[in-house]
A and B are shown apart, each in its own frame.
Chain A
């Protein structure tokens, strides 16, 4: 029943305590939020945890969101901040091998050359510093404009452009090193 409703109606219903409406918002955004978290964190379990927390926090703090603004930007900002916190935690509490860590991996049924390139991208993304990985994920997974990325990561728009440019160059270099 919520499919036909626009986002603002769903948010208003959520504010009024309609958890079904919030469930619909989760359905609409869970891939985007999980993908952001997975791209940032490179670990499936952490990404699921953080995506879960992001939706809880967004709901509890929903009155802070201005309905005339873009909801996705607000939600992605919450998720990005939680990812940064999780990375800080991982840095201070290192473990030898995290479960569910994204590695190369390949699909035997897939095209060999394509598989090889995707494996290299996965490995290279894991080695790319967070400051460069995050803008790349927001740009190429979430399809966001530079201005939105700047707002989410709290950095100037020029820095976003530079980091995406440099990030691609570094990614290419890392892929070649892994060749």
Chain B
């Protein structure tokens, strides 16, 4: 199926789903306004302080006292939070992102803990790269982060994988890189390359 046709079908399908749901949307305005009741847009801090400082019959002295007391309270809370945060600071831990889909419907069986091989993914990225992630069949094309703790431009991640064939690629600062020299083969789809790794059954897997 050509790209243009897929896009057209996707567009038509999404529009049609909304059209089919039209009865649900009837009267939505009234329901929302009814739920809002007397609620009005919340005042921001600046507007709130402005209202407090505005001259009224009550006089300004009392209002300045309120503002002063509020500012002091914010200061105390700020000091408390910053102290609390300092206590909580700990060295960063290396942790692989979970290799499961975040969507409601996983595409495949997620249970692949026992009998897995530790597969190393390595990317030589530009020294100024900020993020490197791997996406592929094994993580349902969700992102698993690679790390470069010693800042030498070599980003790595070790992912436990069950024996099988896995198609994958990397995103270096969001840009696709699908030609991993460590891959067992490369495949082309939609005009770009992806890498394929065979784990077990003859694939090096590491």
Q: Which residues of A contact B (CB under 8 A)?
A: 14-15, 17, 19, 22-23, 26-27, 30-31, 34-35, 38-39, 41-42, 44, 47-48, 51-52, 55-56, 59-64, 87-88, 90-91, 102, 114, 117-118, 121-122, 125-133, 136-137, 140-141, 155-162, 165-166, 168-172, 174-175
Contacts and interface: CB of A to CB of B under 8 A. Distances in A.
A179 B27 CA distance: 39
Contacts of A140: 7, 10-11, 14
12 contacts: A26-B29, A38-B17, A87-B103, A90-B104, A91-B104, A102-B17, A129-B107, A131-B141, A131-B142, A131-B143, A166-B169, A168-B7
Given A130-B101, A131-B141, A169-B190, A52 B31 contact: yes
B9 A59 contact: no
Contact of B104 (A15, A23, A42): A42
B3 interface: yes
A160 B103 CA distance: 17
Given A26-B32, A159-B171, A162-B175, A63 B141 contact: no
A11 B6 CA distance: 37
Contact of A130 (B32, B36, B41, B104): B104
Contacts of A128: 103, 107
Nearest to A134: B103
B4 to A, nearest CB: 11
Contacts of B39: 59-60
A160 B10 CA distance: 17
Interface of B: 1, 3, 6-7, 9-18, 21, 24-25, 28-33, 35-36, 39-44, 47, 101-105, 107, 135, 140-143, 169, 171, 173-176, 189-190, 192
Contacts of A171: 6, 10
B25 A63 contact: no
Nearest to A170: B141
B6 A172 contact: yes
Interface residue SS majority, chain A: helix
Contacts of A157: 174
A170 B107 CA distance: 11
Given A129-B102, A130-B101, A34 B21 contact: yes
A42 B105 CA distance: 10
Given A26-B33, A166-B135, 12 more contacts: A51-B28, A63-B43, A88-B102, A91-B102, A118-B12, A129-B140, A140-B10, A140-B14, A141-B15, A155-B174, A157-B174, A165-B190
A127 B17 CA distance: 17
- Which has the most chain B C-beta neighbours within 10 Å: A14, A34, A161? A34
A62 B44 CA distance: 10
A114 B14 CA distance: 14
Contact of B32 (A47, A52, A141, A170): A52
A171 B5 CA distance: 13
A132 B141 contact: yes
Contacts of A61: 41-42
A102 B104 CA distance: 12
Contacts of A118: 9, 12-13, 16
Nearest to A156: B174
B1 A30 contact: no
Contacts of B32: 23, 26, 52, 55-56, 59
Contacts of B18: 31, 34-35, 38, 141
